[in-house]
Structure 1
Amino acid sequence: MHELLETETAPVLTNTTSISCQKPFDDGRLPLMLLYSGVLAVGLPANFLTLYLTWLQVRRSNVLGVYLWSLSLCDLTYLCTLPLWTLYVSAGHVWPWSSVACKLTGYIFFTNMYISIFLLCCVSCDRYVAVVYSVESRGLRCRRHAFLIVVTMVLLVAVGHVPVFTMREGEATQGQRRCFEPSQSSATVTGFNYARFVVGFLIPLLVLVATNRGILVNVQSSTGLRREQKERVRWLAMAVVFLFLVCFAPYHLILLVRAILFHFPRLEDGTCLFETTVYTPYTISLGLSTVNSAVNPILYVLSSDNIRKELRRGLAGLCDRAHLRTRSDSSQNKIQPTRNSSELNPGTKMDGPPGPAETCRQAGLDSEVLVPPV
């Protein structure tokens, strides 16, 4: 794993005098800064919201909620590194902090990237088992097993990246430190690039395609679902695979290209081929991988029927409290009437004017428009 991370650092603080080819650090500066800022603006509030909503599902022993809650927590940790990367890019790829901070930031970034990828596989596999083998899986799908799978997977990925903290560091030149920049490849690094492509991208992609196709086939053959429900499942399955390809395919394909080019050293001898043609796409592709953490809450969590019900109940509760507070303020000098059962239960019908929850529903806040399905 040491060599795996050397593809990004090798060493973390590079000696610029040892590199004859100058990387075009300024070419992708503006797109990356805009990309990181947009992902932060969308991803942070969305993941904080879904972290709470999915925890409610976990407390109700919802197995899928365990994976979705873990995914939201992973994405939040992932997003916390983006302000540092944004400042790093804005400074022309000059790392202003210590080497320990660089290692820790890179460790969190890449560890959570692959934890997120494997959690996406867990979500799709659990949905597949629940849909295709709904009866047979009743005794197997439980919250404890889901937590055990998540913990085991996180430990394996986290331990595999620990050697980054023991890496030797190069000396910075003229006070300019680099952090997680691609360096010259070696046979070991090339082997790890192949492994990252196969284990971290190709196998998860095949899992997502196979499970979502199985879900789609099973749902389309069902006679108990409406046409609209089948269409929604179809679009959701397509969106899951499409998002994965957009976010992770460019980065891992570039890793594969670099691994293949290592076997043809004459192509790069004295030409600076990587620096002139691949470096900027490489940095942009790495930035695209962060988009996944902003879209995951919308695609996986906020499109869930259970989550939308949680949002509707929460909104109805807010409307109830606001209505009762208004009544209390307008009748401070009057005897307060006793609250009846229909006030305590907004779903109970009562005679007379509509209650506060009903008012919210009539205003359209309780409809599917509140959280549109994918």
Structure 2
Amino acid sequence: MNTINITCPMAFNTTKYFTIPMYSLALAAGLPLNCLALLALVSHIQKSIVLSVYVLNVVLANILQSLMLPFWINYSYHNHHWNLGEGACMVFGVIFFTNFYAKNNFLCLIAMERYIGLIYPLKFYRLQTMHGATKVSIGAWLLVAILCVAGVWIQMHGSETWQGRCLDGSQSGKDYAYFKMATMSFSFFMPCFLMGFFYFRVLFALRKKTSLQQRLKRKIYGFISLIIASFFLLCTPYQVISCYKYYCTLMLENNEFCDIERNSFIYIHVTWCLAILTTILDPLLYILLLKDVQANLKDHLSFRARRTQITQDLPLHSTTGWIQKVPVSQ
């Protein structure tokens, strides 16, 4: 194996000053928001609403990812020294990264479902069923889980001895760099491209729909733009810097490995913190802004205030809004 048995001197004690606050914020805000969203989505599942299957998987991935954050807070607090053992590192690492990358796939599937439902409602009708969405979801989980198990195993065995570093990349070696370069397109860049394609096709189709009110079009354009911008701004920097780091690891000699690590160390962790913030924004963008889910949350929380007409103007992913009323043809 192409292992790199080098202990690179790096300022491990510096990351705690921004990772711990960011992780704590994601845990304190993201976990309750996603739990509320999960509570509201139960009724959608009972109504056999296809879109809710994919959204439910996003929420579950966010909840499981948030539950792993205390362990990474502890890891940062102890200056990147994992004191729970090698086995726990592997288990928690697989759970954390599986949910992180599975979420990207389900966000892509949400965009695909809107695209198919609007433009090809009859051609792909089998995917528009609860059974079809469930099978696609199971397949997505299995694919990501297999890749994450393989990646964690390769990374953990990139060094001959356990040195207390848990999946921070400092001892991964060239084998893991080869693996990441080979799988990064499937784990992020392809879902990223497809998500952008699906949403831009929806926008293009709506643009040709002259019967749709301009005010409602602007609302939909703004909502989709917000989804795309938040995803690209928060998730893409970490993936781009990681890709650059692994590329350099493969191209440069082993004696230059520490230079790569030191140059990318802070950037990797800063951009990783940005990606973690999606646990807060996902329920806000995909759940709490939906008309039907807002109504369910109000019922669960015993709010009796009259629903305003404004929420009816933001039903991009609602199953009872403009999607059913305004069919779009090619």
Q: Tell me the TM-score normalised to structure 2 length.
A: 0.84
Q: Deviation per CA, 1:205-230, whole angstroms, max 9, x where unpaired?
A: 11011100011112222234332321
Instruction: Report the residue type matching 1:71 in the other structure.
Output: V
The answer for the alignment partner of 2:286 in structure 1 is: 300
> In 2, are the aligned partners of 1:251 and 1:282 still within 8 Å (CA)?
yes
Instruction: Indicate the SS of the match to 2:13.
Output: coil
The answer for the alignment partner of 1:278 in structure 2 is: 264
Check if 1:60 corresponds to 2:47: yes
User: Using the alignment, how far apart are the partners of 2:32 and 2:313 within structure 1?
Assistant: 17
User: Using the alignment, how far apart are the partners of 1:101 and 1:73 within structure 2?
Assistant: 21
**How far 1:172 moved relative to its partner?**
5.1
User: Using the alignment, how far apart are the partners of 2:296 and 2:282 within structure 1?
Assistant: 18
Q: Kindly tell me: are residues 308 and 221 of structure 1, through their superposed partners in 2, closer, same or farther at Cα, counting changes over 3 Å?
A: farther
The answer for the alignment partner of 1:126 in structure 2 is: 113
> In 2, are the aligned partners of 1:67 and 1:119 still within 8 Å (CA)?
yes
Aligned length: 312
> In 1, are the aligned partners of 2:31 and 2:63 still within 8 Å (CA)?
yes
Instruction: Indicate the SS of the match to 1:183.
Output: coil
**How far 1:190 moved relative to its partner?**
2.8
The answer for the alignment partner of 1:367 in structure 2 is: 308
Q: Deviation per CA, 1:313-338, whole angstroms, max 9, x where unpaired?
A: 556xx35xxxxxxxxxxxxxxxxxxx
Identity of aligned residues (%): 24
The structure with more helix, counted as a fraction of residues: 2
The answer for the alignment partner of 1:258 in structure 2 is: 245
Q: Deviation per CA, 1:120-172, whole angstroms, max 9, x where unpaired?
A: 11100001111222354445411110001101111222233334469557545
**How far 1:182 moved relative to its partner?**
1.3
Residue pairs, 1:175-190, within 5 angstroms: 177-183=164-170, 186-190=173-177
Q: Kindly tell me: are residues 286 and 196 of structure 1, through their superposed partners in 2, closer, same or farther at Cα, counting changes over 3 Å?
A: farther
**How far 1:308 moved relative to its partner?**
2.4
Unaligned stretches of 5+ in structure 1?
12-17, 320-356
Instruction: Report the residue type matching 1:92 in the other structure.
Output: N
User: Using the alignment, how far apart are the partners of 2:47 and 2:35 within structure 1?
Assistant: 19
Equivalent residue in structure 1 for 2:8, among 10, 21, 27: 21
**How far 1:312 moved relative to its partner?**
4.5
User: Using the alignment, how far apart are the partners of 1:206 and 1:115 within structure 2?
Assistant: 16
Check if 1:198 corresponds to 2:191: no
Unaligned stretches of 5+ in structure 2?
317-330
Q: Tell me the TM-score normalised to structure 1 length.
A: 0.75
User: Using the alignment, how far apart are the partners of 1:282 and 1:264 within structure 2?
Assistant: 19
Q: Kindly tell me: are residues 303 and 225 of structure 1, through their superposed partners in 2, closer, same or farther at Cα, counting changes over 3 Å?
A: farther
Q: Kindly tell me: are residues 225 and 270 of structure 1, through their superposed partners in 2, closer, same or farther at Cα, counting changes over 3 Å?
A: closer
Check if 1:290 corresponds to 2:271: no
**How far 1:272 moved relative to its partner?**
3.4
**How far 1:310 moved relative to its partner?**
2.4
**How far 1:370 moved relative to its partner?**
8.4
> In 2, are the aligned partners of 1:47 and 1:76 still within 8 Å (CA)?
yes
User: Using the alignment, how far apart are the partners of 1:263 and 1:314 within structure 2?
Assistant: 53
**How far 1:260 moved relative to its partner?**
2.4
> In 1, are the aligned partners of 2:33 and 2:280 still within 8 Å (CA)?
yes
Instruction: Report the residue type matching 2:10 in the other structure.
Output: K
Check if 1:159 corresponds to 2:146: yes
> In 1, are the aligned partners of 2:219 and 2:313 still within 8 Å (CA)?
no
Q: Kindly tell me: are residues 372 and 275 of structure 1, through their superposed partners in 2, closer, same or farther at Cα, counting changes over 3 Å?
A: farther
> In 2, are the aligned partners of 1:303 and 1:371 still within 8 Å (CA)?
no
RMSD (CA atoms): 2.8
User: Using the alignment, how far apart are the partners of 1:77 and 1:185 within structure 2?
Assistant: 25
Check if 1:45 corresponds to 2:32: yes
> In 2, are the aligned partners of 1:303 and 1:372 still within 8 Å (CA)?
no
User: Using the alignment, how far apart are the partners of 2:148 and 2:256 within structure 1?
Assistant: 33
> In 1, are the aligned partners of 2:33 and 2:283 still within 8 Å (CA)?
yes
